[in-house]
Amino acid sequence: MKKIAIVIALLSILIISACKKSDSNLPTFKVAVIPAQTTGVVEEGYKKLEHVLADGLNRKVELIIYPNYNAVVEAINYNHVDLAFLGPTTYLIAREQSGAEAIATPLINGEPYYHSYIITHADSPWNNLDELLQEVETIDFAFGSIVSTSGSIIPSYELLQRNVFTTEENHNFKSVVYTGSHDVTALQVQNKLVDAGAIDSAIFHSLANSGDIDESEFTIIWQSEQLYQYPWVVPAGTDRELINDIQSVFLEITDPEILEVFGGASGFVVADSDKYQNVLQAINAVRPEMLKPKE
């Protein structure tokens, strides 16, 4: 009996080794991420995520930080990557253009939601957006990336409804700039380079918690309705078993350095694509051209 048990154990090891060898022959699993922030902490978190995915999927993983949102959408549309972390807006663009699928999303304090904020310096006289807009022609305003949900689309929709903003060329502000990322927007407000800016609420608080900005130097003068969190997205036609494996990896992530990258997340949950309807409505109002099918 003891000899039989040893033989079975040795056979099991050989089978596992063979499986691992087979898995190592799979093509590199490529992951694209967006430049929501530019800090070194983010880069370290991404490196750890790369290792976690490699271990969980049992294959080589390459995590690529793309220069802008549009490049990531193109990568997922044309199957240049196997997985991408997109904002709600860029996910909806990819879904419309190529059928991309949202499969997982972060939890912030246990909930898969965040907000868009409009922030000003604490020294500014405005307590709310109504007061700021009474002086709209004197205001230098900052958005993030032009396709950022919380840094552009949602606040643009709010300002459109208030009849002070249509496009970057057609508005009532003294000036409008697009900073390209949330942390740059926060620093421009903190350093009084602009009067007000739009930012992701989770990233704002994460920057404050990490000491990258001083929260006492800001006033939040407007908060949007709840927005469903950024999704992890796979190209159309991705194998269902692979999707399940990816979801399992994310649902088990507890490493704080990885979670910090995603707005100080508390974990991940399977995504619900029906939760993005309010963002879709805003895109159709302020940037309908974004949803045109790819040629």
pTM for the full model?
Answer: 0.85
- Is residue 38 a contact partner of residue 181, using CB atoms and an 8 Å limit? yes
CA angle 53, 55, 60 (to 5 degrees): 70
The neighbour count for residue 55, using CB atoms within 10 Å, is 11
pLDDT tens-place string over residues 71-123: 999 999 999 999 999 999 999 999 999 999 999 999 989 999 999 999 999 99
CATH 3.40.190.10 positions along the chain are 23-112+228-291, 116-224
Confidence category of residue 41, pLDDT binned at 50, 70, 90: low
Contacts of 222 by beta carbon, 8 Å cutoff, 6+ apart: 117, 118, 128, 129, 155, 158
Say which CATH topology domain 116-224 has. D-Maltodextrin-Binding Protein; domain 2 (3.40.190)
Dist CA 93 CA 100 (whole Å)? 9
Mean pLDDT of the chain: 89
User: What superfamily in CATH does domain 23-112+228-291 come from?
Assistant: Periplasmic binding protein-like II (3.40.190.10)
pLDDT tens-place string over residues 189-230: 999 999 999 999 989 998 999 899 999 999 999 999 999 999
